[in-house]
Structure 1
Amino acid sequence: MPKVAKQLSDRAVAAIKTEGRHAVGGIAGLHLRISAGYRGWVLRVQVGDQRKDMGLGPYPAVSLLEARDKARKIHDDLRNGQVPISPKVRQRSLIASKAATEKTFHWCASEYLKTKAPEWKNAKHRQQWENTLEAYAMPHLGQLSVSVIDLPHILACLEPIWSTKNETASRLRGRIESVLDWATVRKYRSGENPARWKGHLDKVLAAPGKIQNVEHHRAIPVDDMPTFMQDLRTRAGIAAKALEFLIYTAARSGEVRGALWSEIDLNKAIWTIPASRMKAGVEHRVPLSQVALKLLADMPRIEGSNLIFPGTKGQVLSDMTMTAVMRRMESPAVPHGFRSTFRDWVGEKTQFPRELAEHALAHTLESKVEAAYRRGDALERRREMMQEWSKFISK
């Protein structure tokens, strides 16, 4: 153990100017080291069979009293059998530890998207997430550590748009909740999620169902369909044919725009849409009526393209092409509305059961029991229904 030198005062320490190590007393092994203009504290200790010099910080930023306190703690650690760590190393460790666990909301959101994006069907879904968070969450949460985010921060994001853009605000709330849940699992934060709805935000925000004005896709009345189809068949162009095929099959716009010749079995009159292109992620077979088959037979085959309804450059049609056809026809409806029209026709004009129509629309059944008992896809029964639908709209 180093000898204890004469205990110097603050004034005596301040008066030391010569280079070298100067024992200041009070604590064994404590020195003021002066070298090339640098003045700092050094503590020499015996660790096992080795001598170690431990830096305690610069002087006078670290005062004599503070240096003695630091040195005393190190001696206490040694007596307790602990390997001493210099304050400088301890501080670096604390900073590194904090940096490893203190993550901003912006960083967590980016990492969450990287993790979950492979589950989503297309890049558009990720883009919607990014746009919503960037516009409404990042200005309030982006640079905050997720460990400190609480109710006031969440309300700062939601309250300005909760009444005016409730659907967007509701999605935003769910997305913030997901990011914070991810951060909790990764140990970047602890405690309950301040963006949770039940038993929390539902106590301070109006229920979405009370303030949300649901705008359904505009549809053409069932009885107006024959007239509309008569006009549509006079329209030239791939987009008009794609819209006509969409109506015959009651399919979604994206399913028709991405339809491939390899998905069509003309002999069996079946269009098989793979799970990767379906909203529910389940393969869907569509029975093709006679008019749908004739439309396909009249479609030209583009060399080098497997698309049934390719764009001008051989690409998939944009989601506005069929809408543009309807606008030129001065129709207020939208392509997705034809699924609603088809559903109305089944309910109002036929005796086909509801379940058959839901299957034709590839809707996911809410009843798990009903879904469990539905073994097949009722293809032939649906074929009869789709043939009747084509006959009705072709009157």
Structure 2
Amino acid sequence: MPRITSHRLTARTVASLKDGVFGDGGNLWLTVRNNTRSWSVRYKSPVTGKAREMGIGSARDVSLADARRRATEARLMVLDGIDPLDRKREEKAARRKETGLTFAQVAERYIIERAPAWRDPRSPGVWRSSLEHHAYPHMGKKNVVAIETDDVLAVLRPIWATTTETAGRVRGRIERVLDYARTQGWREGENPARWRGHLDNILPAPSKVTKVEHHAAVERKDIAKVMAALARSDGLSAKAVRFLCLTVARSGEVRAAVWSEIDFANRVWTIPAARMKAGREHRVPLTDGALAILEAVRPLRDSAKGDFIFPGHRAGKPLSDVALSKALHLAAGTKAVTVHGLRSTFRDWAAEETDFPNEVAEMALAHAVGNKVEAAYRRGDLFAKRREMMEAWETKVITVFHPPSNPASLSS
């Protein structure tokens, strides 16, 4: 340790010095940069033998006398074989453990702060449910500063091989919560939920364990028969399934559809970006059959209860996904098919039975088309070609429409 010399600085010089680094003696230094003046102590670590520097505050907040006192305390620690910087970090961590937040508390703060930026209004509930079911039983009550790799693995290992996609989402959510905690100053160090360069050294890659699950689809040869069975039903759920089939939209897009999205004059359904999986507005050409279904359910319109095209039993709520599934299962005579699978039926038909270009079918399904370069050149949405294709699809699946005599019979 350098020999302690007499005090070189005065309160006046501390306030008047220009840019530079100035020693007061006794390992105390003042660094002046523009309008900032900060104190630090330089010493050789008694643990590693390496030169270290520890900040002890701004000259605006810490007087010369206080800076000298703190420098003396640091020198005494070194004499006792204690590294002052390590001790400072240990004390800081101890304070966090005493007053810090639990992982569940931090997660809730993150969800509340981030929710306005999420497109899907259901996201906060999905996040809470996911973390409550998978993460909180293992680490919800643990102080966020103390979360380690073993805690994250305790969450992931039981579900990594069986429900890999869910496990991946849970891992990502834990990682983001812990990143948020670090940004807020509630924890330090590497993120134990990070995949690349960390968990990928422990857990098998998702692609190695994920079991590809396909949505069971109605066979192309059976689609007209199923649609006919749906057409014979007066139920609102059956009509929603038919509308979904004729527009090849997703279940959530159909169930949450509102009347203001329908342009009857131009025969177009415009789904806003906020409700689309890709986050882009999507225009859907409406065929005669799709329009007939809309006309049939129009008497049920109630703008005071959400204005849903396919309203559910509860006021202000649309039909449930389960209601659509039940209607399809009844019409198909089996539970081995899914509503989402109707999109696959359409895709198979377009590829196997038509000459429509691949990108037309992909755009009808609101899928991303090609790479970024190809998408940049194809700025349109091929709407005219899509309308022609949807009319051809209707020819394959449509049945004669018989409106019910009593609109009140349109129950799910």
- TM-score band by shorter chain is 0.7 to 0.9
Aligned residue in 2 for 1:143: 141
Q: Match for 1:285: what amino acid?
A: R
Q: 1:275 aligns with which of 247, 262, 273?
A: 273
Alignment match, 1:259: 257
Corresponding residue of 1:371: 375
Distance 2:275 2:201 in 1: 39
RMSD: 2.6
Secondary structure, aligned partner of 2:269: strand
1:168-209 per-position Cα deviation (integer Å, ceiling 9, x unaligned): 222211111111111122222222211111121111111222
Q: Which amino acid aligns with 2:293?
A: L
Q: SS of the residue aligned with 2:65?
A: coil
Name the structure 2 match of 1:307: 308
Aligned partner (choices 60, 65, 69) of residue 81 of structure 1: 65
Q: Could you say which residue in structure 1 is the equivalent of 2:366?
A: 362
**How does the TM-score come out when normalised to structure 1?**
0.72
Q: How has the CA–CA distance of structure 1 residues 322 and 80 changed in structure 2, closer, same or farther, with 3 Å as cutoff?
A: closer
Query: What percentage of residue pairs aligned between the two structures are identical?
Result: 47
Q: In the alignment, which of 343, 353, 376 is matched to residue 357 of structure 2?
A: 353
Question: Using the alignment, how far apart are the partners of 1:299 and 1:135 within structure 2?
Answer: 39
Q: Secondary structure at the match of 1:272?
A: strand
Return the letter of the residue paired with 2:329. R
Over 3 Å counting, the alpha-carbon distance change for 1:185 and 1:307 in structure 2 is same
Larger Rg: 1
Q: Distance in 1 between matches of 2:111 and 2:370?
A: 28
| Structure 1 residue matching 2:166: 3-state secondary structure | helix
Tell me the alpha carbon deviations over residues 244-298 of structure 1, each in whole angstroms, 9 at most, x when there is no partner. 1110000111211122222211221111112222222221110111222222233
Structure 1: which amino acid aligns with 2:322?
M
The change in CA–CA distance for 1:383 and 1:143 in structure 2 (over 3 A counts) is same
AA partner of residue 310 (structure 1): P
Alignment match, 2:18: none
Q: 2:205 aligns with which of 190, 207, 230?
A: 207
Work out the CA distance in 1 between the residues paired with 2:180 and 2:146.
15
What amino acid maps onto 1:361 in structure 2? L
Find the aligned partners of 1:204 and 1:155 in 2 and give their Cα distance.
Answer: 9
Secondary structure at 2:283's aligned position in 1? strand
**What stretches of structure 1 of length at least 5 have no aligned partner?**
1-78, 86-92
Partner of 2:300: helix, strand, or coil?
coil
- Cα deviation, 1:277-330, whole Å, max 9, x if unaligned, reads 222222111011122222223334235333322234554111211111122232
1:306-345 pair list within 5 angstroms? 306-312=307-313, 315-329=317-331, 330-331=333-334, 332-345=336-349
1:87-166 equivalences in 2 (<5 Å): 98=96, 102-166=100-164
Residue aligning to 1:381: 385
Instruction: Select 1:247's aligned residue among 229, 245, 248.
Output: 245
Question: What is the aligned residue count?
Answer: 310
Please name the residue that 1:73 is paired with. Answer: none
- TM-score, structure 2 as length reference: 0.69
SS at match of 1:81: helix
Q: Distance in 1 between matches of 2:93 and 2:207?
A: 47
Contact 2:101-2:143 at 8 Å conserved across structures: yes
Q: Cα distance, 1:113 vs. partner?
A: 0.8
Distance 2:345 2:172 in 1: 32
1-structure distance, mates of 2:136, 2:65: 49
